[in-house]
Amino acid sequence: MQLLRKLLFPFSFIYALVVHLRNFLYDKGVFSSQKFDVPIVCIGNLSVGGTGKTPMTEFLIELMKPHYKLAVLSRGYKRKSDGFLLADEHTTVEALGDEPYQIHQKFPGVALAVDANRREGIRLLSDAVKPQMIILDDAFQHRKVKPHFSFLLTPYGDLYTDDWYLPTGNLRDSKKAAQRADIIVVTKCPSKITKTEQGTILEKLKPHKHQVVLFSFLDYEDAFHGLSEKMEVEALQGKEITLVTGIVNPAPLVAYLKSKGLAFEHLAFKDHHFFNQKEIDLLNRKQLIITTEKDFVRLRNCVPNLYYLPVMHRFMGDGKRIIFDALTKLMKGRS
């Protein structure tokens, strides 16, 4: 696969040219970006692959829902439905997509909708629930909407500044597009990243004066969650465990489980994988399955002995307060 991506290097120049031209036309006003009355907070990245957007969305919900009426709008990647869909208690994971469904299940009091047409989705969601703030998930490169505040996520060890354009690399947007971000979050850092390492990353990112760079790490719970019970890590010692992942980069989870002394086989699938009956039959023959929260919502009704490990964004230093103050300032400026 790596050899094929290298052979496609000339096509990456064509892709880069198209991306730069598109951004130029938006920057010059040839293509229009629509701004809405309701405050729009955008979360996204410049590359394909997992940067931690869903944990970041959940972090913002937890942070701001005690203070404002929130709504979330997602594209609903790989969902088996079309157009605008506002989730309710009858909505399925197939109709929403795995990550939106995960958020909907975790925060039933927060309105969640999916629509590939973000302009239409914002309009319909605003009319339906009258939110005070809409969190726009995975939409940094979606220039048809002009957000009021933007978070750009880039993972530690795979910064967008070190990447190249599709199909050779993973960039789907221009590196210069990073200047549109208000806060750049370096995700998936070691929990004890040094000041020297942070300084090296800052030199690579070269943030503008208006931008703040924050560092975060993924924090896993010590208890695995099932449909109706929890299981402590100690209870898994000596059991025959199968880890099932359908995410871009399962390495952090694999490393965490190994750090807890667990031995397991690992069945890795592609991101957003919907399991067929043959695969489900295979999983049903396993003694105990650990998976990600995103995969859990797809497998929960067809695989017994299934548990997931919740994961959360944690910020170094005053990151949480900085984000809260910035969004509070945004909201006060809108009142």
Q: Residue 259, annotated ligand binder?
A: no
Residues 6+ apart with CB under 8 A from 70: 61, 64, 110, 111, 131, 132, 133, 134, 135
d(C-alpha 79, C-alpha 275), whole Å:
13
Q: Residue 161, annotated ligand binder?
A: no
Q: Residue 48, annotated ligand binder?
A: yes
Give the amino acid at 153: L
* Cis amide bond preceding 55, omega within 30: no
Q: Residue 245, annotated ligand binder?
A: no
Q: Residue 50, annotated ligand binder?
A: yes
Q: Residue 29, annotated ligand binder?
A: no
Give the amino acid at 216: S
Q: Residue 333, annotated ligand binder?
A: no
Beta carbons of 286 and 305 less than 8 angstroms apart: yes
Beta carbons of 248 and 219 less than 8 angstroms apart: no
Taking each helix axis from N to C end, the angle separating 98-106 and 53-64, rounded to the nearest 10 degrees, works out to 20
Beta carbons of 115 and 87 less than 8 angstroms apart: no
Beta carbons of 287 and 268 less than 8 angstroms apart: no
Q: Would you call 41 helix, strand, or coil by DSSP?
A: strand
d(C-alpha 291, C-alpha 280), whole Å:
13
Q: Quote the tokens at residue 250.
A: 């399962």
If residue 175 lies in a helix (H) or strand (E), which one and from where to where? none
Q: Residue 169, annotated ligand binder?
A: no
Annotated binding site: 47-54
Annotated binding site for ATP: 47-54
